[in-house]
Amino acid sequence: MTRCRSLGSCDLRSVAAMILYFAADLIWATKIKGTADSLGLACRPVRTPAMLEDRLADSQVTAVLVDLDVPETAMVLIARLKRENAEKARGIRIVAWGPHVEKALFLQAREAGAQEVLTRGALDREMGAILTELAGGSRA
């Protein structure tokens, strides 16, 4: 996998597996990015649908993690990814996560197109294995 030290010298399309993430707060964003960095995995944030479009255009995205704490944005991102997958058969894996008490929101995320929906606790406990799997490895 190609690792880039500066964006100016790197063609992001050469990265073998890019994981994107939409995190509602800095704590989750830091956990995801820090874990990905420690594993040597390419991982970039997405904050808006427009930013998602840009990332899809400049990266070989294999997966997107979507925080359900901001349901309006999360559902728009999932719907856009589902459409992208259908249009171009890209096979982008969509994994959503949120508070364990939000069963209706979990169902809504699945219906919108998320292949996997996790509780915050499950994501936190298994983050390294999940990111490795999303990058093309296997979950131990």
CA–chain centroid gap for 5, Å, is 21
Q: Which of 37, 46, 86 is nearest to 70 (CA)?
A: 46
Cβ-Cβ contacts under 8 Å for 38 (sequence gap 6 or more): 128
User: Terminus-to-terminus CA distance in the chain, angstroms?
Assistant: 21
Per residue of the chain (140 residues), give pLDDT as tens: 333 433 333 443 344 579 999 999 999 999 999 999 999 999 999 999 999 999 998 889 999 999 999 999 999 999 999 887 666 547 899 999 999 888 899 999 999 999 999 999 999 999 999 999 999 866 55
Decide: helix, strand or coil at residue 4. coil
Beta bridge partners of 15: none
Domains of the chain as residue ranges with CATH? 13-134 (3.40.50.2300)
- Radius of gyration (C-alpha) of the chain in whole angstroms: 14
